[in-house]
Amino acid sequence: MDFLISPLRKPLTGEIVFLGDKSVSVRLVLLSLILKGKITLGNLPFSEDVKSSLKAVNDMGVKLLKENDCFVLENTEPLRERGELPLTIYCGNSATLARLFLGLSANLPGIYELSGDDSLSNRPMMRVVEPLRKAGLNISFLKKEGCLPLRIESKGQTEFIEWENKASSAQVDSSLLFASLSSEKPFKVSSPHTFRDHTERLFAFLFARENLRHSEKLSFLTKTNHELYFYIPGDISSAAYFILLALLKPGSDILIKDVLLNDSRTAFIRKLQEAGGAITLHIKGESFEKYGDVRVTASSLKAFTVEPEEAASMIDELPLLAAAMAFANGTSEVSGAWELRVKESDRIACLISQLKKLGVSCEEKPDGFKIFGGFSQASNIVLDSFGDHRLAMTFSVLASLLPNPLMIMNADCVNISCPDFFEKLKFYGGKNVE
């Protein structure tokens, strides 16, 4: 569906709240496959990726229940032997679901076939498959080497491995953390750069108080009758678009309430602060994740640089930071962002092609881009999101801040991560036609 986005009619003011963080939510939903008992989730978002994850665990036998405003996942038999017929798990657009399920399947004896939509079926899976094969999991590709669909044959046990996570991918790291539960000792995984640490934090929350040896952890999950409650903080990656809108729309002053403030997810905020953005964080608490409020007031931005060692920690927000660079005073640059080439789209090529339509002086690099601040926008411009939710939201932010309305093609893909994005934008007058 195409949306016409008009300039914001008023500054962003007041308080904004967001549904739960997608990355955290998918991990908690998948945890139900190996945790005996009940997991109650508050503020669970019903984005498409989370819906795909819920359907996957339900197909595996996890019961899904609603209790008041919470969602309950109940698994009384988390480890079950399966017969010779494979169970098909459809992952939709969610690479997190596909890659983490690969690791989780190491603990679940049986045969599984993973598939996804056209976009996911072209995203790289070998980065996860290769170490899991080395650990003893039997994985075969059914059509195209390195991509979905694929078949997994699991015996419920793996061998210890040492592995370098060259892509600095949180999904690779999380997949191997889950898989290592089926090994006698934890896998040794290294990486050149830092990345999201949600699974490490989840494991620390589950196991720290029990003082368990590694070989006892899976038994602890599958033998104990657990009852756990998680309130999922608001999605910081979805909030990022409104943070930038508030920074760049004169007169804006907003408070984003109860949002995820995990240090591995706020690098983009630190970068915007470095560029002159008036953003303050108020930490309110920390259980399995740090959360709190974000205050944002309108600011002028100066040019900034994202170095290779920083790129992995803000990979999802880099397209949005490109929009910030277009409004910043001076020349900005991103390097080391190879991973953008293998997201839902080639985010480097697609982003730069559309920025040029807006008259932004910019250059595509193999591992990033260079942007020279300023616009020479004409009217009646149509931007293509390429079915990529991060690009659709980035272009909507640009359209909301420029003087002329812009048409965004295939903008309904925002439902993958933030289904109420346009509802929030419309409140400030930024969307007027579907």
Catalytic residue set: 316
Cβ-based neighbours of 211, under 8 Å, separated by 6 or more? none
Helix (H, G, I), strand (E, B) or coil at 38: strand
The pair of structure tokens assigned to 429 is: 């007058």
Helix (H, G, I), strand (E, B) or coil at 35: coil
On whether the CB atoms of residues 163 and 134 are closer than 8 A, the answer is: yes
- Neighbour count for residue 404 (Cβ, 10 Å): 13
3-state SS track over 264-312: HHCHHHHHHHHCCCEEEEEEEEECCCEEEEEEEECCCCECCEECHHHHH
The C-alpha atoms of residue 204 and residue 228 are separated, in whole angstroms, by 14
The pairing of strands 305-306 and 331-334 is parallel
From residue 308, how far is each of 98, 165, 263, 322, 339 by CA, in Å?
Answer: 27, 16, 18, 15, 11
Helix (H, G, I), strand (E, B) or coil at 411: helix
